[in-house]
Chain A
């Protein structure tokens, strides 16, 4: 009795193995067939679509089963085609009901289909898709949310900015860096809602807003960032210093020079680094003065920034190699060495 059960178990095991192999082979075969069929379709539609894009001929009318292939071909051109040509393409797709199908698919059941549709709408830069994509920002699937945000950024419709900024304020559901990236892509139109986010309660959100403002480099944000520098919150203030370095300008520079004497070393370190980015040789003396710091990173950043300030920075570094403090001497020597900027004298 016991043996019979064992025999059956053995047989079952081996048959499952064989079934697995067969299933994989069959699946591979089916996939190969599907791929070949798709490739044939693409080959057939390629030239007409190209003629439509390049020579302005009418878009080929295809049955519903071939619309995906048509869309795939059109999407190959949308990243390079702008203006009225792009509008012509989307109009032609709309006439065949392709865009309407995509808009429906943003609400379909499988998450990957929703994500795929959202991605294609972004690639088509379809203004009409903005409301659907904005509502897709609340999708339960993270993939869909991410893709929708990216597509909104690609469409660059200012109407989407508030929605993206709201997404930034909800870090538990969002990949901060991706939202940040998308807001950055929106450029100066994203600045006002970001300035509002600076007043958020959530520390992370404020840090992200500061970072993005630094990347957008719109001088309109300078006063707000300087104000952040005077607040509390270590990481926030350090990031504000870094962002001011990216924005540049006389106001930012003045604030950064003051930040070199901040009680917190993280802020001093970032201010020193930011001044190297502003690269204004008049700050060399201040950096040299700030260099004898207790903190390693402040010393490193001061020295590296000085190395970026040209002749005046180099002169200060060479003076620092004769400083009383051994750590300052070492760091100055190291930077002169590493960056190969040691002068002839």
Chain B
């Protein structure tokens, strides 16, 4: 028993050091990468892209399910995007409230007989509406089938070679589309997807649909999430992107080459992590074909989203995210550790499996074992206290680095009070919030296992094989 405990403690220590080593490396890579990008952004030639006739037109897809409170505002603010040619496709996913009626009234929509080319399978369509007043606005009404299904319908309705998936409640920067499309203009052949940083809008001053001043939210839970988002996006995803193994493109805002989306058969409807799943299948497709491709992540705040301010909503959100991750890992298990799949298979996926998927389990076990060891007197009290301080200290360091990196780069800094508040929460999050997250994730893991009824039963729908290649290939060239 005694040696078992000791062995476990050693394992915990080793795990702790490895994960923090990885975090440190990612932090260093991220800082370097964002400095470089900041410098070249000044010479980006965004004005050229804005007025160039060669700039690719974009179809913005906005799935909406019971969004009557925000939908009209969302469409209006989207129309203010600083971009050349783009169309807005709102997909009403069988809303039971007045989402569709409000849209019809606000934009003088009329039902038209436009046939949609059903390249991707999607739920039954109820009707296609176009606006008489607003150019390039289409509303597709369909029976409820979930976000992924709605996005598939949107891809079917999209007329342009790039599609941009956004959430109806997301707030875009004015030049978000311009910046996120730039990688496609730089390397038109290789770029298949690009995305940017998602930030928490709570507490910020928003005027006319743009974020004017960045403040720390008053709500404690939201402030904790601000720190968390900064850490996740600034110091982690930027690093992963540099290592070419990024496969998390937020569902809130991402641009894809339509051709590529069609070739992998669109979004999968049987997972809660449809955004991540799509990116993973893009990686797989291009690696299988041995073609050059790139998926870009820009460390600039491009889209703002409202963070849940109560524990229940947050818990549900996190449960969904973690289940999404597990489902994606399970669906891509064939890629893990295989050199053929490049950095994603060798770095990204294994990291996510060991530290993101199994991490919470190990963390929760760790807490339990420490308590038990303490009770049995196997370990010294002083060791436990010091180790805990070390863990907290490392967490604080990473969060502080993220907050400071943001401070150094942002041009819309809040007051020193806001910064102080965020710094306070970099410490607070280690007492309670972190543990709660781990517990929720363990719960999500159990939910995942229950739903799948054991590890063996998960069915892969595999649109790839069923999809007639010809359709997918021929679609974009003619448009």
Contact = CB atoms under 8 A, between A and B. Distances in A.
A119 interface: yes
Interface string B443-479: 0000000000000000000000000000000110111
Contacts of B53: 184, 215
Contacts of B408: 24, 27-28
A108 interface: no
A125 interface: no
Nearest to A327: B115
Given A6-B387, A21-B400, A147-B43, A337 B114 contact: yes
A14 B479 CA distance: 58
A266 B477 contact: yes
Contact of A177 (B188, B386, B477): B188
B375 interface: no
A301 interface: yes
B54 A215 contact: yes
Contacts of A116: 42-43
Contacts of B110: 337
A318 B134 CA distance: 25
B48 A150 contact: yes
A23 B55 CA distance: 41
A296 B407 contact: no
Given A13-B393, A331-B115, A146 B45 contact: yes
Interface in B71-120: 110, 112-115, 117
A337 B113 contact: yes
B43 A20 contact: no
A80 interface: no
Nearest to A332: B113
A238 B477 contact: yes
B393 A10 contact: yes
B400 A17 contact: yes
Contact of A28 (B49, B52, B400, B407): B407
Contacts of A135: none
Interface residues of A, number: 57
Nearest to B420: A21
A334 B114 contact: yes
B401 interface: yes
A269 interface: yes
Contacts of A112: 39-40, 42-43
Contact of B393 (A14, A180, A211, A327): A14
B478 A295 contact: yes
A288 interface: no
A150 B52 CA distance: 13
Interface in A133-164: 142-143, 146-147, 150
A52 B48 CA distance: 30
A176 B190 CA distance: 12
B213 interface: no
B478 A143 contact: no
A143 B397 contact: no
B423 A21 contact: yes
Contact of A297 (B393, B394, B479): B479
B404 A20 contact: yes
Given A10-B386, A266-B478, A143 B40 contact: yes
Interface string B49-79: 1001111000000000000000000000000
B43 A24 contact: no
A330 interface: yes
A177 B390 CA distance: 51
A265 B477 CA distance: 10
A60 to B, nearest CB: 27
B185 A20 contact: no
A305 interface: no
Given A20-B401, A24-B404, A28-B407, A301 B114 contact: no
A20 B423 CA distance: 11
B478 A298 contact: yes
Given A238-B477, A297-B478, A20 B397 contact: yes
Q: Of residues B132, B396, B397, B401, which shows the largest number of chain A Cβ atoms within 10 Å of its Cβ?
A: B397
Nearest to A334: B114
Nearest to A110: B39
Interface in A216-273: 234-235, 238, 265-266, 269-270
A17 B396 CA distance: 7
A204 interface: yes
Contacts of A23: 404
Q: Of residues B49, B380, B400, which shows the largest number of chain A Cβ atoms within 10 Å of its Cβ?
A: B400
Interface string A107-129: 00001100110010000000000
28 contacts: A3-B380, A9-B390, A10-B386, A13-B394, A13-B396, A17-B396, A20-B397, A21-B400, A21-B423, A27-B408, A28-B408, A112-B43, A143-B40, A176-B188, A177-B186, A181-B54, A184-B52, A184-B53, A215-B54, A234-B477, A265-B478, A295-B474, A296-B117, A296-B478, A297-B477, A327-B115, A334-B115, A338-B112
Closest 6 CB pairs of A and B: A297-B478, A13-B393, A269-B478, A337-B112, A24-B404, A334-B114
Interface of B: 39-40, 42-43, 45, 48-49, 52-55, 110, 112-115, 117, 130, 132, 185-189, 380, 382-383, 386-387, 389-390, 393-394, 396-397, 400-401, 404, 407-408, 423, 474-475, 477-479
